[in-house]
């Protein structure tokens, strides 16, 4: 007996996978925010500034290399989440 998957089933199952992936991405972003906060607080406590522009350029280049221009946009949003608006 062959069991066929209908398009509606395929879509529903794939959307469940997307929701699960999104949950993992959100968790990773929250983890990134926590690590970024540790760095920023250490720098501020030792007399430095919250923002480190040359490091942010490295982060933007990393995302741009992987995902192109939308990667840069994503990285800018990530940076805003991690250190607030500049």
Ligand X SMILES: C=C(O[C@@H]1C=C(C(=O)O)C=C[C@H]1O)C(=O)O
Binding site residues, ligand X, CB under 6 A: 36, 39-40, 51-52, 55-56, 59, 79, 82-83
Measured CA distances, 38 to 18, 29, 45, 79, 82 (Å): 30, 14, 11, 14, 11
- Class of residue 70 by CB neighbours under 10 A (exposed 0-12, middle 13-18, buried 19+): exposed
Q: By C-beta, is 9 or 77 nearer to ligand X?
A: 77
Q: How far is the CB of 60 from ligand X (least distance, A)?
A: 9
Closest to ligand X by CB, 12 or 61: 61
CB of 16 to ligand X, least distance (A): 31
């Amino acid at each position: 007996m062959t069991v066929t998957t209908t398009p509606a089933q395929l879509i529903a199952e794939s959307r469940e996978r997307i929701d699960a992936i999104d949950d993992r991405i959100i968790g990773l972003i929250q983890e990134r925010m926590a690590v970024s906060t540790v760095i920023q607080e250490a720098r501020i406590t030792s007399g430095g500034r919250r923002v480190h522009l040359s490091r942010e350029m490295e982060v933007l280049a990393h995302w741009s290399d992987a995902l192109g221009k939308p990667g840069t946009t994503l990285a800018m949003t990530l940076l805003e989440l991690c250190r607030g608006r500049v």
